[in-house]
Chains A and B, each alone.
Chain A
Amino acid sequence: AQRVTQPEKLLSVFKGAPVELKCNYSYSGSPELFWYVQYSRQRLQLLLRHISRESIKGFTADLNKGETSFHLKKPFAQEEDSAMYYCALETSGSRLTFGEGTQLTVNP
C-alpha cells in the first residue's frame, strides 16, 4: 500500500533562513506528488506539483525516485510562509494519500 511520511510535525525557523520540509513516500507505481498548504483558518490549497517543476512563492520541490523523497525547499523563509504543509501522493483515480503534515513557523 502507498504511504507518505513527513517526519517533522513541527518546524521552526527564523525569517530569512532556509527551510526544508521533508517528505518520503512508498508506492509501487509511478508517483505523482504534490505539496498542499493550509494557512491559518483557510482551506487546503495546492502549492505545487512535481510534474510542473515550477517554483511557487519561492518554494521548489524535486522528486528523487532513488531516495523516494519529495522535499520542499525555500532559500529564504518569510513570516507569511507560516502554515501547515502536507505532502500528498496521487494514485489511481486521482486519489490522494496525505502525509501527517508539518507545521512551519517562521519567526521574525
Chain B
Amino acid sequence: GAVVSQHPSWVICKSGTSVKIECRSLDFQATTMFWYRQFPKQSLMLMATSNEGSKATYEQGVEKDKFLINHASLTLSTLTVTSAHPEDSSFYICSASSLEQYFGPGTRLTVT
C-alpha cells in the first residue's frame, strides 16, 4: 500500500527557535497533503490543507504565520513551527491524499 513518511520522528527544541517537519509520500504522488495536531489522549485536529504549487489553506484558529506550510513537490510537504513555545509541544501528523488519505507515523515535538 501507499506509504507516507515523516521526518524527524521526534524533536526537542528550545523556546523561540523554529523547527521543520517533513512529510513525504514514498510511492505515490499527492497533490494534497494534510497536517493534523494531536494532543495527549485527544483526537486529531486538522490544522491545514497543503496543495502542491499553491498556498496552504488553514483551519479557523490556526495561525498561518506560526505554522508555515510549503508543498514544494508532489511528494513533499513541510511544516515549519516558527518561534516555537512550550504550548506548541504536540504530536504532529501528516496525511497524503490519493483516493484515500494515508497517514504518516507522526512527529513528537517538545519545546523546552
A79 smallest CB distance to B (angstroms): 23
Q: Give 1 or 0 for each of B46-79: 1 = CB within 8 Å of chain A CB.
A: 1001000000010100000000000000000000
Question: Are A44 and B49 in contact (CB-based, < 8 A)?
Answer: no
A49 smallest CB distance to B (angstroms): 8
B contacts with A, residue count (CB < 8 A): 20
Residues A45 and B46 in contact in the complex (CB < 8 Å), given A93-B57, A94-B32: no
B60 smallest CB distance to A (angstroms): 9
> Per a CB cutoff under 8 Å, which of B57, B101, B104, B105 touches A96?
B101
Complex Cα gap A95–B95 (Å):
11
A46 smallest CB distance to B (angstroms): 5
Residues A93 and B49 in contact in the complex (CB < 8 Å), given A43-B103, A43-B104, A45-B103: yes
Question: Are B103 and A86 in contact (CB-based, < 8 A)?
Answer: no
Complex Cα gap A44–B44 (Å):
10
Complex Cα gap A98–B105 (Å):
17
Q: Give 1 or 0 for each of A91-108: 1 = CB within 8 Å of chain B CB.
A: 001111111110000000
Question: Are B34 and A95 in contact (CB-based, < 8 A)?
Answer: yes
Query: 5 additional contacts, CB 8 Å, given A43-B104, A96-B34, A96-B101?
Result: A43-B103, A44-B93, A86-B44, A94-B32, A96-B44
Q: Which residues of A contact B (CB under 8 A)?
A: 43-46, 49, 86, 93-101
